[in-house]
Amino acid sequence: MKSISERGLGPRIGNAEKLVTALESFVNYLPQRPEFSIESLRIFINQIKDENEAVASKKQQYSLSVEARRLLFEKNLFSIRKVLTHINATVKAGYGRDAKEATDVGAIIAKIRGAEPKAKTSAEEESVSQSHRSFAATVQYFSDLIASLNHFGTNYNPSNGLLSVQSLKGLHAQAEAANNQVMAAFSQLKQMNDNRMDSYDHFSQMAIRVKDGVKAQYGMGSTEYRMIKGLVI
């Protein structure tokens, strides 16, 4: 996947605008192809600017979806991570610490805690995919935990209604949806960023040909060519 980093893109678009401004100052600039005209180049630059803004917006949406997932899995008072201790204590209180039911529930909780992903801020594809799988494993183990609690029937009777099987099912559904939303947001960001980088690369190739055209029209030693030959796009 093409990098989502903004590093270096600002100077590139700035140099693209410098190129067009220089062409406007040249006497009788004659583009060798219609797409090398000043008007066409400006339209292309504006398209890239629009793509930059769209990618920035998608990045924000992705960031918000990641934070929403963290709230449900880790940060909220009623997050998956924080209800585990209460569930464990409730089962032990109902059956006894050494009961098989308590042991089984404790084993599932250990799996959930073992599957918890480390916090990652990278939006690169491999990191996002690994994180999604880790959260998906947590969701699956949490589903197994709920199934066990449901099997206990009325013997699982938490004093806090938020720990009821029905309430936990709701948390499970929200967490699963949040994890899927992160992946969907990233997929949209990836596609939009790839399109943007294709535009940058295409304009870069166009700029090389524009420079060659200026060199052919005005000469290698001309002021016009010297003004633009060093612009890296």
> In this structure, are residues 136 and 175 in contact, taking their beta carbons and an 8 Å threshold?
no
Of the pLDDT bands very low, low, confident and very high (cuts 50, 70, 90), residue 68 is very high
Summarised one tens digit per residue, pLDDT across range 147-199 is 999 999 998 999 999 999 999 999 999 999 999 999 999 999 999 999 999 99
**Tens of pLDDT, residues 91-100:** 999 999 999 9
> Is the pLDDT score of 7 beyond 70?
no
Residue 45 pLDDT: 98
139: pLDDT strictly greater than 90: yes
What are the Cα distances from residue 69, in Å, to 47, 61, 117, 120, 210?
33, 12, 12, 12, 48
Neighbours of 19 (CB within 10 A): 23
Which pLDDT belongs to residue 129? 84
Q: What is the pLDDT of residue 123?
A: 58
Stretch (H or E) spanning 45:
helix 38-70
Q: Pick the closest to residue 41 from 188, 207, 158, 178 (CA basis).
A: 207
Compute the Cα dihedral for 85, 91, 96, 97 and give only its sign. negative
Q: DSSP for 52-120?
A: HHHHHHHHHHHHHHHHHHHIIIIISTTSHHHHHHHHHHHHHHHH-TTSHHHHHHHHHHHHHHHHPPPP-
Confidence of residue 114 (pLDDT cuts 50, 70, 90): confident
- Token couple for 233: 């796009």
What's residue 3's pLDDT? 59
Q: Report, in this order, helix, strand and coil percent for the chain, each rounded to 5.
A: 80, 0, 20
Mean predicted lDDT score pLDDT of the chain: 93
Q: Are 109 and 87 in contact (CB under 8 A)?
A: yes
Per-residue confidence (pLDDT) for residue 127, from 0 to 100: 81
Could you tell me how far CA 154 lies from the centroid of its own chain? 43
pTM: 0.82
- pLDDT over 90 at 63, yes or no: yes
pLDDT digits (tens, 9 = 90+) for 11-47: 999 999 999 999 999 999 999 999 999 999 999 999 9
Structure tokens at 207: 């700029």
Domain ranges, ordered by start, for the chain: 9-228
Q: What percent of the chain has pLDDT over 70?
A: 94
- CA geometry: angle 169, 170, 175, nearest 5 deg: 95
What does the block give as tokens for 134?
Answer: 């880790």
Q: What is the pLDDT of residues 185-204, one digit of tens each?
A: 999 999 999 999 999 999 99
